[in-house]
Amino acid sequence: MPTLKTILHVDDEPDLRELVAMSLELGGLAVHSCASGQEAIKAIQTVSPDLIILDVMMPGLDGPATLKALRAEPNGQAPVIFMTAKGMQSEITRLRQLGAVEVVAKPFDPVTLSDSIRAIWQTAAGSRSEQKTSDPEPPRDDTAAAMAALQNRFRQRLRDMHELLGRIEGGQRTADSLLTLRDCAHKLAGSAGTFGYPEVSALASGLERAAEEAMEGRADSLASAHAALRNKLADLIASPNTGI
């Protein structure tokens, strides 16, 4: 069985790209990061990954469309893992039917991500014993500093999201405002739990669903979901203990 050495990771969220790369590199893996499906298609011309990790929801080419395009390239035949904030069983089943060997839910634990990815790889390759997982390395000084910088950037994103929610009223029903709410809520849902804000992640998921339902004319929970997330962010910003 070939050894897992190189991973192609595609995600439009810069903080999550850095966090995934940091987590996997600490586990001894080489990571080639791409910010979009289009960038991944270019990269696959010269990179031959052992494993591909794709975010599902991205602007332009989403994860499934990127997978289809990568499969048309000689270097794009590696096993694929999808990462998504939508953990419903129906979504997981759909992604597996598209060819994913596994689906990793956001938020994820950065400390155990490397071992989780190795375990999925071993299962996909038909062996759990070929590669041994190692204990996580203790954080180096530069790693701790990088993590602190990512945390600070994410806290700024929470402030930016609160300002956005203040500009967009929960009852507004324009197509552009609903799309903006859905996309921003989706990104926040996928990253908030990873950065230590699980309640924000859950509320952002609720706003994402409410925006999707409003876009389809199926429900009217947008105002309450909007208010719940905005109020939670306001509480965090006002608290002296959160550092936001």
Each residue of 30-71: pLDDT tens digit?
999 999 999 999 999 999 999 999 999 888 899 999 999 999
Q: How many CB atoms lie within 10 A of CB 172?
A: 15
Residue where one domain finishes, among candidates 124, 152, 183: 124
Residue 2 in contact with residue 44, Cβ under 8 Å? no
**Structural domain tally of the chain?**
2
Residue 21 lies in a domain: yes
Residue 129 lies in a domain: no
Q: Are residues 65 and 161 in the same domain?
A: no
Residue 58 lies in a domain: yes
Helix axes 141-167, 222-238, angle to 10 degrees: 130
* pLDDT reading at 139 higher than 60: no
Q: Are residues 159 and 231 in the same domain?
A: yes
- pLDDT band (50, 70, 90) for residue 172: low
Q: Are residues 40 and 70 in the same domain?
A: yes
Residue where one domain finishes, among candidates 124, 159, 189: 124
Residue 132 lies in a domain: no
- How far apart (Å, rounded) are the C-alpha atoms in residues 2 and 123? 13
Residue where one domain finishes, among candidates 68, 95, 124: 124
Q: Are residues 102 and 11 in the same domain?
A: yes
CATH number (domain holding residue 156): 1.20.120
Share of the chain above pLDDT 70, in %: 88
Q: Are residues 160 and 54 in the same domain?
A: no
Q: Are residues 155 and 226 in the same domain?
A: yes
Give the structural domain span for 172: 141-238
List Cα–Cα distances, 46 to 25, 40, 42, 53, 143, in angstroms.
20, 10, 8, 17, 28
Q: Are residues 111 and 30 in the same domain?
A: yes
Q: Are residues 114 and 148 in the same domain?
A: no
| Helix or strand run (H / E) with residue 146 | helix 141-167
Each residue of 201-240: pLDDT tens digit?
999 989 998 998 988 888 778 889 999 999 999 999 998 7
